[in-house]
Structure 1
């Protein structure tokens, strides 16, 4: 089976591509390796996958030295022509779309980047899937779509019509765009709402990454809303396992779907939404304590008011994931943080 994984120089895509390659699938990974954060980290992920980053040229496949069935192409999905050519040449069976412009706060200062990557780029992926009638499109959504909804735990069967950042709005738009293609062209699509993913090889713009760096250096960390926040932190291995299970289960029409009482998570079309979270929210201050324990050093904390675009709490209802895929994320925060800090110290040689 030939699988396209987008965003394979990114955090989650890096792990997903490796796992699929290890299982023997024919993998094509793409990423534009933009400068949203340090490209040395993106190159480090590619090197860990056996990709010679020195030889990278736009639109030229580079084979992995570790996985003969894995090829990487430096390509921007927002480029319509390049993306059309990619699908025409490789004719994928399944697409795992993880590439996106990430970051809630960055979307406030750089909104056009989100329209380009998360809207135009996603449309190009959908059109590629339509052109070759892929068997399943799995794509990354986000817990941020729940926005002003305070009815926790968050369920995919609740409405999510009040996002509080453009990033969240772009992810909600992806879900609606996917549904229209499932309805019009009978393409099975599954959206995965990820809840605060963390772990080794993570993103430097995430709070836990910044906290670790500052604590190690003895510098203060900014903690918003005076620490009165909690997140459903989800370890990356749990996310990847969920993605792999979903890839193997194409969405189907819900035979019980009622247009008079529409369920947001299913449809008369082959369309599905799932939460992937640990379903055990952790108070932010407890998360910082886990970092302190792993690093062996106390944090210097600078308390600040709530930031625009943030939400007070996230909590995933993963009952659908458990029922349909017999899976529940299980890595506890201290274990996950210990692994992250060990990787951080090794990678940055601190």
Structure 2
């Protein structure tokens, strides 16, 4: 049994990761600041899935849940309390998933991204190296590939053309992590996530917004006239990849690595919408739009490196994943 910190545990991927690791017998501490970027009610519902009594949540109060997961509400920028948490628990591993997400919002509120994604990440790195964490796995993003037109995207590709501040902060994370691996010998692995979807997903993501509007008979915004493709990856496949990777810290002279984690099978946006229409039994009203500022036309992950290391192989098809999401959405919204 290992002691593992999962940051962003009230988030989409964080919730699923914490539950899976606790089920595997590990001692999990979840951390989240519960900010209002999107529904705090949804975040609280995710915590309830982890056995946390949300009526008792308050800042810097650690709570023990009923499913082997404890939780503490902390902000990543609170270096004093972050350090105290690490000193108290002496975590074996850290899975750092907390971040300010969203491409559009990074244009509207850039300071939130520097505070959370850069300053906050630095605090996690400092606490990890001081307390001798065995391996820190952190969330990067496929958005670091920016305007790269070579597909599939490979970890060795140049990543110098980010088109949003969110993407730039994730690229900065990779550079800062490299420096900490070099200077402190802290084992660090970044995972470039590719369009994760599934039950308990974020309301600001396309699948959630599309489902809500289609069911309400409202138009959905389809950017770049529908000429987009994404490497949609089901959340359970993502979690499996994370779980497999955690004990496999980099063993090279420089203990630093970057891996894509995606499905490896890009889907055209219009095909994605058609799959959702089929599952909902209802046609979408399409509002065809120009390219969204800060967006890219396509993403496609080469996952060969991660597969060679861990045997990672996504198993959930788009049809199955969509079915699972719609079933959860209807249940969550009492439909």
TM-score range, shorter chain: over 0.9
- Residues 129-168 of structure 1 show CA distances to partners (whole Å, capped at 9, x for unaligned) of 1111110000000000000111110000111111000000
Report the Cα distance in structure 2 between the residues aligned to 1:92 and 1:77, rounded to whole angstroms. Answer: 17
Contiguous gaps of at least 5 residues in structure 1: 254-267
Give deviations 1:170-206, integer Å, cap 9, x for gaps: 0010011111000111111000000000000000000
Structure 1 residue 306: Cα displacement: 0.4
- Distance in 2 (alpha carbons) for counterparts of 1:148 and 1:226: 18
Structure 2 distance, partners of 1:159, 1:133, is: 32
8 Å CA contact 2:51–2:69 kept in 1: the answer is no
Q: Distance in 2 between matches of 1:99 and 1:318?
A: 23
Matches within 5 A, 1:1-350: 1-65=2-66, 67=67, 69-253=68-252, 268-350=253-335
Q: Distance in 1 between matches of 2:317 and 2:21?
A: 25
Q: Deviations over 1:249-305 (max 9, x none)?
A: 11121xxxxxxxxxxxxxx41000100110100000000011101111000000010
Between the aligned partners of 2:70 and 2:243, the Cα distance in structure 1 is 19
1:283-338 deviations in Å (ceiling 9; x for gaps): 00000011101111000000010011000000000010111111111211111011
Classify the secondary structure of the residue corresponding to 1:105: helix
SS in 2 for 1:154: coil
Kindly report the root-mean-square deviation, in angstroms, between the aligned alpha carbons of the 2 structures. 0.7
Query: What secondary structure is seen at the aligned counterpart in 1 of 2:291?
Result: coil
Q: Distance in 1 between matches of 2:140 and 2:289?
A: 29
Superposition misfits of 4+ residues, deviation over 4 angstroms: none
Say if 2:185 and 2:254, in contact at 8 Å, map to a contact too. yes
Q: Whole-Å Cα distance in 1 between the matches of residues 86 and 312 of structure 2?
A: 31
* Cα distance between partner residues in 2 of 1:270 and 1:102: 27
Q: Distance in 2 between matches of 1:248 and 1:289?
A: 39
1:64 Cα offset (Å): 1.1
SS for the counterpart of 1:118 is helix
**Partner SS for 1:122:** helix
Tell me, what secondary structure is at the counterpart of 1:191? strand
SS at match of 1:9: coil
Q: How far, CA to CA, are the matches of 1:330 and 1:275 in structure 2?
A: 16
CA distance in 2, matches of 1:161, 1:189: 21
Distance, in Å, in 1 between the alignment partners of 2:247 and 2:314 is 18
Q: Distance in 2 between matches of 1:109 and 1:168?
A: 15
> What is the rounded CA distance, in whole Å, between the counterparts of 2:232 and 2:135 in structure 1?
27
Asked if structure 1 preserves the Cα contact closer than 8 Å seen for 2:91 and 2:133, the reply is yes
Unpaired segments of 5 or more residues in structure 2? none
Q: CA deviation at 1:127?
A: 0.2
1:102-147 residue CA offsets vs partner (Å, 9 max, x unmatched): 0111111110000000000000000001111110000000000000
Q: 2-side partners of 1:251 and 1:241: how far apart?
A: 18
CA distance in 2, matches of 1:328, 1:106: 32
TM-score (norm 1): 0.94
* Count of paired positions: 334
